Chain A
Amino acid sequence: MAKHETPLLDQLESGPWPSFVSDLKQEAESRAKNEKGIEYQIPVDVCEDLLGVLELSFKHGRTHWKHGGIVGVFGYGGGVIGRYCDQPQMFPGVAHFHTMRVNQPAGKFYTTEYLRNICDLWDLRGSGITNMHGSTGDIILLGTTTPQLEEIFFELTHTYNQDLGGSGSNLRTPSDCVGQARCEWACYDTQAICHDLTVEYQDELHRPAFPYKFKFKFDGCPNCCVASIARADISFVGTWRDDIKIDQEAVAAYVGGELPSNGGSHAGRDWGPFDIQKEVIDLCPTECMWLEDGKLMIDNRECTRCMHCINVMPRALRIGDDRGCSMLVGAKAPILDGAQMGSLLVPFIKVEEPYDEIKEVIESIWDYWMEEGKNRERLGELMKRQGFQKLLEMTNIKAVPQHVQEPRHNPYIFWKEDEVEGGFQRDVNEFRKHHQR
């Protein structure tokens, strides 16, 4: 018999999808049984009370969580998100229900032993409820009490060699795609730079001094498996400068049906024979591909590295060899000014240790944003308010054609006097030699 009646939540379970309500009930039952004989350090019925307070919120149409809190671990301004229930008498199990963010390893590689250890620690000192992984990328441990925070932090850092992630006005836990570990399209080692910058910018990760959150995300190629272009203040998207490598024999094999297109995905249905014209050439967004005497041709000057043709015919087409990444800035989710995609700032940069050139760009952006950004203003909003030209100036980057999103959008370019040869003053007498009054 459940501790609280939850008819509204029970109804959610009737849908066709996996249900978090069922998951919470399962965890509640497992804690109540306690087959492993765990000495729970927070209330055993935390999951029941969580279901109870959620049911009450549904009934009232308003939240019963307070806003924010002072909790944290010593010396860190992020990684713990304080949450307190405003009905602690009714739901004592969730009177405190703090979230801890655990900095996931680059590429999210775990051993089963590591995962078991984290879960055991969380069963003992937390609610047992996890979120693998949050949108930022971290392992999210949901629900513990204030006295447990330091204990958990000590165990994580001393026993499991594991740090907390970022929250609040910090650098958020950097995250990356699986990259060269498994993917032949990775144009740089996403895991290496993700780890390097995480270590380099520990202070920014743990001690909040930014106007608001700031995210790095690393995608090895424009397929953008971590969607960096849509949700990172700085997105690092792998790309290449030379030509797509073409294996004409393999092209013929795709055309002849010997190789399945798209690596055999979408195979659940018969789509008819592969049509290279319809499925590749006509879908190239820059229209830079054509067939010539049965050979596939690409005008690489026009190709924007969208990845479409490579995704469809991975055995025939491969990324180029002169590899690096593009840096885009200012993407963010809808809060305040509406959603924004990243704007291209650095069209191509080599991604090589110790990444000095990249760090220079990052730090010049931070200097600018920390000085000029309003409280709670994301980089993307500051760029919109002050203009891309200002960002170029502050980062010392010269305007190049790739910065133009589309021609004729805004024909006005303002030159400063020191950018114009000879300044704005002219010699009238010299002018009059050539032009009559």
Chain B
Amino acid sequence: MDYEEAKEKIVAGLTKKKSKSKFYFNDLAKILDLKPRVAKKLINQMVTEEVLEYWSSGSTSLYGLKGAGKQAHAEHED
């Protein structure tokens, strides 16, 4: 799978899920239908290009579309 295709799948997959804004890495790997260590390279690139962003509780990390979800709002220091 090339990067652009993966990006489209992820953006479409995450936009579809209205009720959630943050996802486990495994959810993303499942959307791509790839083994985790292969999916990781593509997903890393999406973070670098700011398509995705990390969210961390400190102990657990989640991924979301950049700017999606309530917390982003709270953190824009408005």
List chain A positions with a Cβ less than 8 A from chain B.
Answer: 66-72, 75, 77-78, 80-82, 84, 99, 146, 167-170, 203, 207-213, 366-367, 370-371, 375-376
Known: A70-B71, A168-B56. A78 touches B37 (CB 8 A): no
Q: What residues on A are CB-neighbors of B39 within 8 Å?
A: 209
Q: What residues on A are CB-neighbors of B71 within 8 Å?
A: 68-70
Known: A69-B75, A77-B56. A168 touches B61 (CB 8 A): yes
Q: List 19 A-B contacts (CB under 8 A).
A: A68-B58, A69-B71, A70-B53, A72-B54, A72-B56, A75-B47, A75-B48, A77-B61, A78-B61, A82-B56, A84-B75, A208-B25, A208-B61, A209-B36, A209-B39, A209-B40, A211-B25, A212-B59, A376-B60
Q: What residues on A are CB-neighbors of B24 within 8 Å?
A: 211, 375
Determine which of A81, A371, A376 lies in contact with B36 in the assembled complex, contact meaning CB atoms within 8 Å. Answer: A371
Residues 21-32 of B, flagged 1 when their CB comes within 8 A of A and 0 if not, give 000111000000
Q: Are A211 and B48 in contact, with the CB atoms below 8 A?
A: no
A-B contacts besides A68-B58, A212-B60, 12 pairs, CB < 8 Å: A66-B74, A67-B57, A69-B75, A70-B56, A72-B56, A203-B40, A207-B47, A208-B54, A211-B25, A211-B26, A212-B59, A376-B60
B77: interface (CB < 8 Å): yes
User: How far apart are the CA atoms of A212 and B53 in the complex, in Å?
Assistant: 18
B18: interface (CB < 8 Å): no
Label chain A's interface by main secondary structure: loop
User: How far apart are the CA atoms of A366 and B44 in the complex, in Å?
Assistant: 18
Determine which of B25, B26, B56 lies in contact with A78 in the assembled complex, contact meaning CB atoms within 8 Å. Answer: B56
Q: Are A70 and B75 in contact, with the CB atoms below 8 A?
A: yes
Q: Are A370 and B36 in contact, with the CB atoms below 8 A?
A: yes
Q: What residues on A are CB-neighbors of B35 within 8 Å?
A: 371
User: How far apart are the CA atoms of A37 and B47 in the complex, in Å?
Assistant: 40
User: How far apart are the CA atoms of A297 and B36 in the complex, in Å?
Assistant: 53
Q: Are B47 and A84 in contact, with the CB atoms below 8 A?
A: no
Known: A207-B47, A208-B25, A375-B26. A167 touches B54 (CB 8 A): no
- Say how far A332's CB is from chain B's closest CB, in angstroms: 12
Q: Are A146 and B58 in contact, with the CB atoms below 8 A?
A: no
List chain B positions with a Cβ less than 8 A from chain A.
Answer: 24-26, 35-37, 39-40, 43-44, 47-48, 53-61, 71-72, 74-75, 77
Residue of B nearest to A76 (CB): B54
Residue of B nearest to A75 (CB): B48
Residue of A nearest to B58 (CB): A81
User: How far apart are the CA atoms of A66 and B71 in the complex, in Å?
Assistant: 10
Most buried by A among B40, B60, B74: B60
Q: Are A70 and B36 in contact, with the CB atoms below 8 A?
A: no
Q: Are B57 and A68 in contact, with the CB atoms below 8 A?
A: yes
User: How far apart are the CA atoms of A71 and B43 in the complex, in Å?
Assistant: 18
User: How far apart are the CA atoms of A168 and B37 in the complex, in Å?
Assistant: 17
- Say how far A165's CB is from chain B's closest CB, in angstroms: 13
User: How far apart are the CA atoms of A290 and B42 in the complex, in Å?
Assistant: 62
User: How far apart are the CA atoms of A376 and B62 in the complex, in Å?
Assistant: 11
Residue of B nearest to A99 (CB): B58
Q: What residues on A are CB-neighbors of B36 within 8 Å?
A: 209, 370-371
Q: Are B56 and A69 in contact, with the CB atoms below 8 A?
A: yes
Determine which of A68, A72, A367 lies in contact with B37 in the assembled complex, contact meaning CB atoms within 8 Å. Answer: A367
Q: Are A146 and B75 in contact, with the CB atoms below 8 A?
A: yes
Known: A209-B36, A210-B25. A168 touches B75 (CB 8 A): no
Q: What residues on B are CB-neighbors of A84 within 8 Å?
A: 74-75
Known: A70-B75, A375-B24. A209 touches B43 (CB 8 A): yes
Determine which of B25, B48, B58, B72 lies in contact with A167 in the assembled complex, contact meaning CB atoms within 8 Å. Answer: B58
User: How far apart are the CA atoms of A311 and B76 in the complex, in Å?
Assistant: 57
- Say how far A95's CB is from chain B's closest CB, in angstroms: 9
Q: Are B25 and A168 in contact, with the CB atoms below 8 A?
A: no
Q: Are B54 and A70 in contact, with the CB atoms below 8 A?
A: yes
Q: What residues on A are CB-neighbors of B60 within 8 Å?
A: 168-169, 212, 375-376
Residue of A nearest to B64 (CB): A70
Q: What residues on B are CB-neighbors of A167 within 8 Å?
A: 56, 58-59
Give me the 4 closest cross-chain CB pairs, A-B, nearest first.
Answer: A168-B61, A208-B61, A68-B57, A370-B36
User: How far apart are the CA atoms of A167 and B61 in the complex, in Å?
Assistant: 8
Q: Are A213 and B59 in contact, with the CB atoms below 8 A?
A: yes
Most buried by B among A72, A75, A169, A376: A169
- Say how far B26's CB is from chain A's closest CB, in angstroms: 6
Q: What residues on B are CB-neighbors of A66 within 8 Å?
A: 74
